[in-house]
Structure 1
Amino acid sequence: MVVDVMPKPEILDVQGQAVTRALGRIGVSGVSGVRQGKHFELEVDDAIDDETLHRLAGSLLANPVIEDWTVTRL
C-alpha cells in the first residue's frame, strides 16, 4: 500500500518554496513552484479493507487539518 500526503493547496509550503528558490540559484529555469509532501510504503495484509487503510492514513500518517492524502493498493 502507498500513502501520499501533501499539504492542502491553501497551506503555505515553506519547504517547497525553498526548493523553488534553490532551483533558480543553481541555474534551473522553468520551474514555477514546488510542493513537498510525504510518501509512505506499507506492507499490509489483503484482509485489511480500504476503509481501514484510509482511516489509518488519516489518523496516523497525515494531519487532516492541513494535509490531503491518497491511499493506493499496489
Structure 2
Amino acid sequence: MPTIVVEVMPKAELLDPQGKAVLGALTRLGRTEFTGVRIGKRFELTVDGPVTDETRAAVAKIADDILSNSVIEDVVAIHYPEAE
C-alpha cells in the first residue's frame, strides 16, 4: 500500500521554542557547528489502492485543513510514492 508523507513546519517568521531548546542542548554538548534548529511535524498517510489525481487533491486539502494550523504553520512538502 502506498504511503504519502506530509511535512509541516512552523512559519519562518515565528519563534520555535522547541528548536531553540534543542540548539541549546547541542551547544552544551559541544556541537557548535549548528546555528539553528527548527522542529516540525511529519504525517504518513497510507492509501488503500493507487494514488490518483483525486487522492492528491484530497491530501492537499487535508494537509491544509486538518494537519496544519495555517495561522502558525506551513505545509512545506507532500511526498508521493513513485509510480510503480
Question: Same fold judged by TM-score > 0.5?
Answer: yes
Tell me how large the CA RMSD over aligned residues is. Answer: 1.2
Which residue is equivalent to 1:41?
A: 44
Identity %: 45
Higher Rg? 2
Which residue is equivalent to 1:21?
A: 24
Q: SS state of the match for residue 18, structure 2? A: helix
Letter in 2 for 1:65: V
Runs of 4+, deviation exceeding 6 Å = none
Pick the aligned partner of 1:30 from 24, 28, 33: 33
Mapping 1:32-71, distance limit 5 Å: 32-44=35-47, 45=49, 46-47=51-52, 48-69=54-75, 70-71=77-78
Q: TM-score, normalised by structure 2?
A: 0.80
The 1-side partners of 2:35 and 2:45 are apart by: 32
For structure 1, the 5+ residue unaligned runs are none
Q: SS state of the match for residue 39, structure 1? A: strand
Q: TM-score, normalised by structure 1?
A: 0.90
